Chain A
């Protein structure tokens, strides 16, 4: 069965520290997508990145970087030089294709609450 595990419930860092959020997934599909979303206190989920199962290249976007390793079924997210505005809940998600056709159903992890202290 498809599953996403975010073992870190809460992380607290001091501003300017680097922080890595872990994500481990399980799927039997050969084609799948992985996502990271940010949920600020306002509640709305903000899309950060999408990565398909055939592309294991790491990606960097400003202070954000993602490390995708199929061998360990992990898709970790690193924030470099963290800032107070990075404080939020971060969700990792897996896109599942349902029987009879793709459905775009997202399977979410339980989220990691990141608190960046000034």
Chain B
């Protein structure tokens, strides 16, 4: 079945640690996105990538890093510079980066907690 797979589902991070969230899609989509969800704040865009080996900052990129070495994969690293990383992280993909009309498909999310 085609879709987006995020792993792990739950992740615990100690203060000062970097952690990487995985996102893999087998939909052959060009564009991929990372969103952060906090209670009462909706979803906010962290980074997005329209094509392999290229990515752009979203609205809240500070403290995060990404890579896009393969079309299918868009991992997100939460660095120690992110002061409040506890949140629910959602990965998404779309068919055409140049179209403003295609729906985004989402993974099931990773819940990150700082301990």
Restricting to A26-47, which residues have a CB under 8 Å from any CB of B? Answer: 31-33, 35, 37, 42-47
Are B104's CB and A102's CB within 8 A? no
Please report the C-alpha to C-alpha distance between residue A100 and residue B61 in the assembled complex, in whole angstroms. 20
Of the candidates A50, A109, A111, the one whose C-beta lies within 8 Å of that of B101 is A50
Please report the C-alpha to C-alpha distance between residue A95 and residue B103 in the assembled complex, in whole angstroms. 9
Are B40's CB and A9's CB within 8 A? yes
Are A31's CB and B100's CB within 8 A? yes
Of the candidates B56, B90, B103, the one whose C-beta lies within 8 Å of that of A35 is B103
- How many residues of chain A have a CB within 8 Å of chain B? 30
Are B50's CB and A103's CB within 8 A? yes
Are B41's CB and A110's CB within 8 A? yes
- Asked if B94 is at the interface of the complex by the 8 Å CB criterion, the answer is yes
Set of chain A residues within 8 Å of B101, measured between Cβ atoms? 33, 50, 52, 95
- Asked if B58 is at the interface of the complex by the 8 Å CB criterion, the answer is yes
Please report the C-alpha to C-alpha distance between residue A103 and residue B40 in the assembled complex, in whole angstroms. 25
Restricting to B57-115, which residues have a CB under 8 Å from any CB of A? Answer: 58, 88, 90, 92, 94, 96-109, 111
Interface residues of B (CB under 8 A from A): 31, 33, 35, 40-45, 48, 50, 56, 58, 88, 90, 92, 94, 96-109, 111
